Structure 1
Amino acid sequence: MGATNVAFAPTGEQALAKCAMASYDILFVDYHLGIGKNGKQLLEDLREKKLLPPHCIFMLVTGENSVPMVMSAVELEPDDYLVKPFSQSVLRSRIQRIQRKKTQLADLYQALFDDMPEKAIELCQQEVSQEGRYQQFCKRVLVENLIRLEQLDKAEHILTQALQQRRSGWALLLQAKIYFLQQRFADSLLLCEEAIADNRYFAEAYDIKAQCYQETGELDAALSSVLSAAEIAPYNMQRQYLLIDIARKLNNIPQQVQASKQLYEITRRSIKQDIVHLLNYIRSTIDAAVRTEDPSQRNRYLQEVSLAMQRVKRDESMTREINFELFEHLCQARLESLHGAQYQAKRTYAAVAEQLPEQHQLLPDTIFLLNQIGEYEQAATLGKLLPAELMKNPLLKTLFADQKNFLDQKQHKFGELNKSGIQSYKAGNFVVAVKQFESALELAPMNTGCALNLIQASIQLLHSQKKRKSTELFERCKKTFRIVDNMPLPEHHRARYKELLQQFDKLRDELRR
């Protein structure tokens, strides 16, 4: 076809490196590039790194024509998408068509590349007023940028005129989006239905439907709609976040886990790669194991956690950003707690506690563990240290909300029992206080404050029963000390622990005489 300067790259990573060194006029990219980045991920990377100049033509090629593969690629809007086999004449005509468009709209493509929405709007208005060949494309870009700048009335006026001329899919979708932003959910749903009736593979229309149903409280319909979108085009991060949010509101644990796994898979080789997606996938799976009541389902989740851990260890590029060994210890402690080994879980935590303050990425896991074993006060203290940047991740916020909802009732009951025990203690009713503190510890077995309360009440009870030695009570008190022995303690608990230990040792010596 006359091209004389042609470069080849066998992998997405090598292609990315070459594009960083030179500017190409055409990128002809296969979807499947073996191990590493695929063609879609390469396109994302090039855009993110500003390595795809406005004049460059990016053509994605694949031998597959499955709906998820094609639609996920098309959603990313490469300049063109070709399914093998194709002829040279088809390739030539496609390239020439795109080249004509990029030449005529060079200033517009430059404004979009430079992220200048106001300039893009001005250039689009000029093209539309001249009724040029690309006025429909420019109307779409114009409306998208008006919506971005929250100029909804202007965008709606343009769309109303466009829809009077032709009920095109892009116009229906953007009008539905505007109606959603204006909280006109019924009107938005009608336009989504019309768009889907015209093109049943219109994933974005299903997304807006799901959002509308979510806002109106029709969560089953919302889940059905977003699942339809994910079936059509599963490799969209925002779609998976929407799925997680809706599934959470329905307490659909399997869907939450599956979507968190999909987020990890989507980002694993792309510019969006971030250790947080891996951590959130494992966190979600452990959280699902904690919340499910089905023993067989719990075992499946635990196996999934184990497999994910093993897989990650073989990929050092994913784990070098954090101390993955510490993360493993925290996960291990959560699993030990899940199996009822509360004391061992706290011991596992204690072994690494000193290393954790500098590991901000692992603060969520520390908080999850402390809440799980009943150390609510310490968890709340650490919660105040969570970096704001970390909490911008939607899935992490969901995980915190899920644990809060799951623990709220238990924590409230624990608080009431602990409070009642304190009142009974102050009233001198040590027998009742001991029973109340013991009941509270059944709900939060490793809670330091409550354990110290129980020890204090038990010591007072032992003092009152000196004449009839209570070996059972003495042993129970001794066992309770294990909850705090050699554990990391806040300063106020540490001082109280030392004082109670001295009292207990003195009492023990007296009982032996």
Structure 2
Amino acid sequence: MKYSLEELGFSDITYVDKAQHALSRIRHDQFDLIICSYNLQKDHDGYHLYDQLKHEGELDPSTAFIFISADTTSDLVHSIVELQPDDFLAKPFTVNELDKRLTKVLLRKKALKKVYRHMGDGQLSKALAEVELFLSNPKNSEFFPLALKTKGELLLACGHHEQAQEFYQAIINVQPFTWAQLGLVNAYLHLNNDDEAEKLVLELAFKSDSQLAAYDLLSALQIKQKDFNAALECVVMATEISPRNIRRHKTALDLSRITHDYETQFEAAKKIVKFAKDSIHDKPENYLNVARAGIDFAMTADESETFKLLKQANEYVKQFKAAFPKAELHDQIKVIDARLLYLQDEKENAKALLDQLAEENWETEGMDALLDKAKAFHELGLYDKSSSILDVIERRCKKDDQQGSLFLHYVRQEKQERSTIKQTPRELNNSAVSYYKRGDLDDAFRVFRQAFVVMPKNVSIALNLMQSIAMNKDADTQDESTQQLIKNCIRVIENSELNDEQFERYHKVRELIQEPV
């Protein structure tokens, strides 16, 4: 590669074989062009290097960044396209092809150099004025498509949402560029024109070149409308298309917590560990979050599944210790161990572990660690301590925007649910079954309903709740809230795989309950 570049007339070429060395050089020197292999054998890969450069604002907008790779699998290409480098070259390629592609990219960068300089300095208004000036000169017509796209992005970045809407609509009236349609959706969202945003983004979700961005915008709209189940579905579909995006997996984790989708939460946590390895996102907390998610899942799973989930949780604690031997997170491990002991009906040993925790340092502990501690205290009946920790988390979330609105929503939801529902999911189900067997149908319905709040994806709970409604002669199945409850139960049951006993029981219950319209 270095020889080919010299042959093409390039000079002052720097070669490094590790991403960390590249980061160091980029932080101290200005480069016109960076060519990066997607797969770096001796270090974390090119994807994570470029992601870190963009995430930390280390890459000047005037610098051209080009990926090269012999791998052209679908998920790799989607991952690269999502990061929006200036070009992607599939190996093998000729020197002539390299010359053509580099010339094209560098000419674009040179033409808009003044715009990029202002963007690099954070002077977005000046950059917008410069791109307007650029577009007023017919001599620049070759680069108008890129300049127009940049103008739209700058209008949104500067908060000129009405101007952005008018601008994107004018572009689409001439030619329906994908970038203009996505930009228009973004403008609609900022202007609270949700109906138009949804209509357009659903069209874009069916087009291969805009599908990924459309899923992101659609999930943003659904989060805004607090339709968290639909948002999670969109985010999960997007992670399947482009699996290396860690931030999207973190969104899936947050949404699955809110929706009590424990299986998806567990899977999202595992994917964060998998794809964060050797990147800026690789942290001890990732491994511990898998263990925590596994415990949450085990709390709601059938007893036959519990052992397998606990084994996996323990395995990730071991991986954490191997990957970060110097990390001193002893209290966090004790909390995880206490929750594991609780699941094995060793409550006294679990309490003894929690008693060993260091003095209350809730103001400095990480949010996920605090949340896990609150859950452990609640599970062991220490409700006041659990509530106090959740208060601290909520207060810190309000001061610190880094956790995001989804995490704050989840914390508030946890506070509300734990203030009214004291029992753990498994205890709720056992209590409700006990009430049902004794013929106490009112209490059975009440507790099954609470269980369905914290386990809305659990087919056994849904079936038991429906049965408690069907067998209770005093239940008003025409009541609007009861009808909605029955609808939700039916949705869960019919979207699940039932065993023979469940299938037979479900159809008997359906005969007793007139399905709500």
TM-score, with structure 1 as normaliser: 0.72
Tell me the residue number matched to 1:106: 113
Tell me the residue number matched to 1:488: none
How far apart, in 1, do the equivalents of 2:261 and 2:423 lie? 24
Tell me the residue number matched to 1:329: 334
The reply to whether residue 407 of structure 1 matches residue 415 of structure 2 is no
How far apart, in 2, do the equivalents of 1:8 and 1:30 lie? 12
Give per-residue Cα distances to partners, 1:125-177, cap 9 Å, x unaligned: 12223253222222222222222333211001111110011111001111112
- Contact 1:60/1:81, CA 8 A, preserved across alignment: yes
How far apart, in 2, do the equivalents of 1:258 and 1:246 lie? 13
| CA 138–220 in structure 1, closer or farther in 2 if over 3 Å, else same | same
- Contact 2:387/2:415, CA 8 A, preserved across alignment: no
For residues 111-510 of structure 1, what are the structure 2 equivalents within 5 Å? 111-131=118-138, 132=140, 133-199=142-208, 202-213=211-222, 221-290=230-299, 292-316=300-324, 320=327, 323-354=328-359, 360-361=365-366, 362-386=369-393, 387-388=396-397, 392-394=402-404, 397=408, 400=411, 403-404=414-415, 407-411=418-422
How far the C-alpha of 1:375 sits from its partner, in A, is 0.6
How far apart, in 2, do the equivalents of 1:35 and 1:262 lie? 22
| CA 391–364 in structure 1, closer or farther in 2 if over 3 Å, else same | farther
Query: One-letter code of the match for 1:285?
Result: G
SS at match of 1:360: coil
TM-score, with structure 2 as normaliser: 0.71
- Contact 2:49/2:279, CA 8 A, preserved across alignment: yes
How far apart, in 2, do the equivalents of 1:106 and 1:189 lie? 36
How far apart, in 2, do the equivalents of 1:275 and 1:358 lie? 20
Structure 1: 5+ residue runs without aligned partners? 414-513
How far the C-alpha of 1:401 sits from its partner, in A, is 5.2
How far apart, in 2, do the equivalents of 1:314 and 1:32 lie? 24
Query: One-letter code of the match for 1:28?
Result: I
RMSD value, Cα = 2.9
- Contact 2:287/2:317, CA 8 A, preserved across alignment: no
Tell me the residue number matched to 1:76: 83
Tell me the residue number matched to 2:92: 85
How far apart, in 2, do the equivalents of 1:103 and 1:169 lie? 25
Query: One-letter code of the match for 1:344?
Result: N
Aligned length in residues: 409
The reply to whether residue 12 of structure 1 matches residue 14 of structure 2 is no
How far the C-alpha of 1:224 sits from its partner, in A, is 3.8
SS at match of 2:36: strand
How far the C-alpha of 1:340 sits from its partner, in A, is 1.6
Query: One-letter code of the match for 1:110?
Result: R
How far apart, in 2, do the equivalents of 1:74 and 1:349 lie? 47
How far apart, in 1, do the equivalents of 2:411 and 2:294 lie? 14
SS at match of 1:314: helix
How far the C-alpha of 1:75 sits from its partner, in A, is 1.2
How far apart, in 2, do the equivalents of 1:68 and 1:144 lie? 26
SS at match of 2:357: helix
How far apart, in 2, do the equivalents of 1:25 and 1:44 lie? 18
How far the C-alpha of 1:398 sits from its partner, in A, is 6.4
- Contact 2:232/2:255, CA 8 A, preserved across alignment: yes
Query: One-letter code of the match for 1:42?
Result: L
Which is further off, 222-231 or 340-349? 222-231
How far apart, in 1, do the equivalents of 2:293 and 2:42 lie? 27
Greater gyration radius? 1
How far apart, in 2, do the equivalents of 1:405 and 1:193 lie? 34
How far apart, in 1, do the equivalents of 2:400 and 2:163 lie? 36
Structure 2: 5+ residue runs without aligned partners? 1-7, 425-517
Give per-residue Cα distances to partners, 1:277-327, cap 9 Å, x unaligned: 44433332322222x23224333332222121111212238x63xx22222
How far apart, in 2, do the equivalents of 1:50 and 1:214 lie? 27
